[in-house]
């Protein structure tokens, strides 16, 4: 029964990993193409990268667990082996920190764009790119802290699957998850302030200001869907997981939380592409480019085949004429 449950969980992780990697890889491609011309997509790049890293962590975790279930007998291993080969743990850690902190930057950017529009317009792309480095430095610091703490632990044996709940110390696990929860609820508070401010100042603006507010409000509402889904599928289950950490069934509940969190990674990417007109238009351009390239390649192959056939026929009819039409390098 446990083997069947483990196989089911590994299969679920594999599906989540593949879906998240593909969806967020596509989102990252679209955001990167738009990022080159519009600064409102810059912080979305950080979110997409974080989700992509975390999604690939699910995939590598599933592959590793299938491998160990097939070729090993399930004996406990030293923690150092997990640190050396369990790259999925580092991906979970870095991806979660990068995506959650990028979400906070997105909400702060929306607050700036709505309340201090002129200041936001003066904000250069270079400055925003520098700010975008903060989530990545934070994620790297999280990984480095985990490694520095773990290498000092000796004589610790864990499951060969290298579960995060076993490899992280209890204190580090609580601190990291608490940080994600605080960032998530901070985003909710910032968005509540934004919508409250929009409601109060909706009828007290000049014509130009009203147009600006309507434009920024549309963008803010699209991002709000991302906030809601992240809170519902990630932050809120994570809060419950920490709250019931001392209960007997905590590990089972924590696995459910990991499942909803992984499901949310691909769902967020798909939702952003669907509801965001700029990203949807960019996806159409990419698909048209791919279709056009395929048609051009097919046509060029057809032309080449026709040309080769025509040349062979000419050679049969008149070998000298056929040779004269070949591209023979001229002597200098």
CB 57 within 8 A of CB 95: yes
Residue 281 covered by a domain: yes
The beta-carbon contacts of 147-154 under 8 Å, at least 24 apart in sequence, are 147/83, 150/79, 150/83, 151/80, 151/83, 153/79
Residue 143 covered by a domain: yes
CB 102 within 8 A of CB 50: yes
**pLDDT single digits (tens) 292-305:** 776 655 455 545 55
Domain count of the fold of the chain:
1
Residue 304 covered by a domain: no
Residue 125 covered by a domain: yes
pTM: 0.81
Question: What is each CA distance from 272 to 2, 53, 216, in whole angstroms?
Answer: 37, 18, 16
DSSP string, 4-33: HHHHHHHHHHHHHHHHHHHHHHHHHHHHHH
- Sign of the CA dihedral running 208, 104, 254, 69: positive
83: containing domain: 2-289
Residue 320 covered by a domain: no
Cα distance between residue 90 and residue 150, in whole Å = 12
The CATH code of the domain that includes 187 is 1.20.1070.10
Of the candidates 165, 157, 161, the one whose C-alpha atom is nearest the C-alpha of residue 76 is 157
| Token pair listed for 321 | 């004429």
Residue 172 covered by a domain: yes
The torsion angles phi and psi of 243, rounded to 5 degrees, stand at -65, -35
Residue 207 covered by a domain: yes
**pLDDT single digits (tens) 128-161:** 889 999 999 999 999 999 998 888 887 788 888 7
pLDDT tens sequence for the chain (332 residues): 456 666 777 888 889 889 989 999 898 888 877 766 577 778 888 998 999 999 999 999 888 888 877 776 667 878 888 888 888 889 999 999 999 999 999 999 988 888 887 888 888 888 888 999 999 999 999 999 999 888 888 778 888 878 888 888 888 889 999 999 999 999 999 988 888 887 777 655 556 667 677 777 777 777 788 888 888 888 888 888 888 888 877 877 888 888 888 888 888 888 888 888 878 888 888 888 777 776 655 455 545 555 555 454 554 455 444 444 444 444 44
Residue 84 covered by a domain: yes
């Amino acid at each position: 029964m446990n083997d069947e449950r483990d196989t089911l969980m590994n299969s679920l992780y594999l599906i989540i990993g593949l879906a998240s990697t593909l969806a967020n890889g596509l989102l990252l491609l679209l955001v990167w193409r738009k990022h080159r011309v519009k600064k409102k997509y810059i912080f979305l790049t950080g979110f997409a990268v974080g989700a992509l890293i975390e999604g690939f962590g699910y995939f590598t975790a599933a592959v590793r667990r299938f491998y160990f279930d097939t070729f090993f007998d399930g004996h406990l291993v030293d923690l150092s082996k997990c640190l050396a080969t369990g790259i999925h743990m580092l991906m979970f850690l870095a991806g979660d920190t990068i995506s959650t902190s990028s979400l906070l930057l997105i909400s702060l950017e929306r607050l700036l764009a709505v309340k201090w529009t002129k200041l936001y317009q003066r904000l250069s792309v270079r400055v925003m790119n520098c700010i975008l480095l903060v989530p990545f430095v934070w994620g790297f610091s999280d990984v480095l802290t985990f490694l520095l703490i773990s290498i000092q632990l000796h004589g610790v044996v864990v499951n060969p699957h290298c579960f995060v709940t076993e490899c992280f110390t209890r204190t580090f696990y609580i601190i990291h998850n608490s940080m994600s929860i605080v960032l998530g609820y901070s985003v909710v508070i910032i968005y509540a302030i934004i919508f409250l401010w929009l409601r109060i100042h909706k009828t007290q603006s000049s014509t130009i200001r009203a147009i600006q507010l309507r434009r920024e409000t549309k963008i803010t509402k699209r991002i709000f869907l991302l906030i809601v889904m992240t809170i519902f599928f990630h932050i809120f289950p994570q809060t419950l997981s920490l709250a019931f950490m001392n209960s007997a069934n905590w590990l089972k509940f924590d696995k459910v939380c990991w499942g909803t969190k992984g499901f949310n990674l691909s769902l967020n990417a798909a939702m952003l592409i669907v509801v965001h007109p700029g990203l949807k238009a960019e996806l159409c351009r990419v698909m048209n480019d791919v279709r056009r390239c395929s048609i051009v390649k097919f046509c060029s192959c057809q032309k080449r085949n026709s040309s080769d056939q025509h040349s062979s026929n000419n050679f049969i009819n008149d070998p000298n004429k056929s040779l004269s039409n070949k591209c023979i390098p001229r002597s200098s």
